[in-house]
């Protein structure tokens, strides 16, 4: 029997999570009225995804997520 991977590591689920983060980051970084709550929530989602992909062969994804998190935290 093949062990099941956590749902996030299904390629479609992972791609969906990354697209949502990218879309929300673009929207919030370009919105001068973005709330602190929205920014903190996005940082939290990025941090959670970073934990999920830790140890997986996603070095470029981890770098992108870390860069996005730092950019949002700087706002």
In a domain, 1, yes or no: no
In a domain, 22, yes or no: yes
In a domain, 14, yes or no: yes
Whole-structure pTM value: 0.84
Stronger pLDDT, 57 or 53, i.e. the higher one: 53
Average pLDDT, the chain: 88
In a domain, 60, yes or no: yes
54: containing domain: 7-73
Q: How many domains is the chain partitioned into structurally? A: 1
**Residue of 20, 39, 37 whose CA lies nearest to 29:** 39
Stronger pLDDT, 72 or 12, i.e. the higher one: 72
pLDDT at residue 3, rounded to an integer: 46
Question: Token pair 């709550």 is at which residue?
Answer: 37
In a domain, 2, yes or no: no
pLDDT at residue 55, rounded to an integer: 76
């Amino acid at each position: 029997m093949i062990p099941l991977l956590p749902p996030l590591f299904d390629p479609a689920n992972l791609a969906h999570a990354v697209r949502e983060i990218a879309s929300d980051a673009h929207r919030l970084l370009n919105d001068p009225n973005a709330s602190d709550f929205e920014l903190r929530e996005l940082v939290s989602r990025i941090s959670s995804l970073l934990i999920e992909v830790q140890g997986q062969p996603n070095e470029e994804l981890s770098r992108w997520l870390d860069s996005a998190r730092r950019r949002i935290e700087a706002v």
